[in-house]
Amino acid sequence: MERVACIDIGTVTCRLAVAEVEGDKVQRLAKSSNICNLGQDLTATGMICDEARDRVLACIDQYLASTATSGAQAVCCTLTSAARDASNSGELLSALEGRGLRPMVIPGEVEGSLTFLGVAQDFPGQRILVADNGGGSTELALGTLSATGLELEAVRSENVGCRRITERFLSAGDPPSPDDIAAARAFADGPFANAAAEEKIAENRPSRLVVTGGTVTSLVAIEKRLQPYDPRQVHLATLSRAQVEGLVMGLTSMTVAQRRELPGLQPKRAGVILGGAVAIAELMAQTGFDELTVSESDLLFGLSLCAAATMRGDQTPVGWKPLLAPVR
């Protein structure tokens, strides 16, 4: 049995999971999530700003202090869309290396594969479409986790995420105008329509659409008015397309200040929740699903499996190996 610590630095959120892995079974021992907004102003500048970098590093310092007493044997660290896009990501990577980590900026296809691996544990033998809706991008993965292993038919990354949409289309007015909402929808519509057509989703429909990420878990929490947040009421919950569209309509009519007061929504997510909800609504429209299932077994879950396999010297389920650092 391996005990691993996995850190993921996303466009909006930094997350830590400590897990025990035995074969293909994962027991999550601890999980932390902090909204750090690494992608702040990235759309306009193409760079990670100093303020965002400092927020992330302060969060990572907390995570490393926690990891040091967790009993984990190794720690891995991945960065996703914001780090892929920023011209100065090297500065952040150097700072992370100075803290003893071996950070990896992973391609969208690897991100999607890791997320699928985590999600599919709950749907063995089912052919599913998994969408990881993040701050800067949405990864789509289609396939099956069978008794013989992971069978991925397609993995792709689309530059449609809650912060990207917000900064590009939904920042001028508060609340945004109908024209701004229409432009945001059109922006999300194209990539998802292309993906659905190229992967022939309509002709060979998967059994279900499973969505991960802070937006969709927040939408469930808003719908259920969860205070405090309870992952047991979110994991494997469902949202209909009508519910998602209703949430989009409600959020559109509110100012950011009003969204901060919504039961179930983290106040720091109030500025980007509408952009994420628009993305999910368009994803459902273009893939033709009237219902989605929400999963909390996300990238960190898949990353834990790959980190443990790497520790054992085994091939990982997705054919990609994380760089591991000793816990200190």
In sequence order, what are the beta bridge partners of 210? 130, 293
Question: What's the first-to-final CA gap in the chain, in angstroms?
Answer: 20
Of the CA atoms within 13 Å of residue 39, those in its CB half-sphere come to 30
Q: What is the pLDDT of residues 155-177, one digit of tens each?
A: 999 999 999 999 999 998 899 99
Quick check: do 2-107+300-326 and 122-294 share a fold?
yes
24 pLDDT exceeds 90? no
Tokens of 307: 């980190």
pLDDT of 23 over the 90 cut: no
State residue 55's pLDDT score: 98
Span 122-294 CATH architecture = 2-Layer Sandwich (3.30)
Domain ranges of the chain: 2-107+300-326, 122-294
Q: Rounded to two decimals, what is the model's pTM?
A: 0.96
Q: What is the mean pLDDT of the chain?
A: 97
Q: Which two tokens stand for residue 232?
A: 């047991």
Q: What is the pLDDT of residues 303-324, one digit of tens each?
A: 999 999 999 999 999 999 999 9
Largest CA distance in the chain: 54
Q: Check residue 94 and give its pLDDT.
A: 99
Superfamily of domain 2-107+300-326: ATPase, nucleotide binding domain (3.30.420.40)
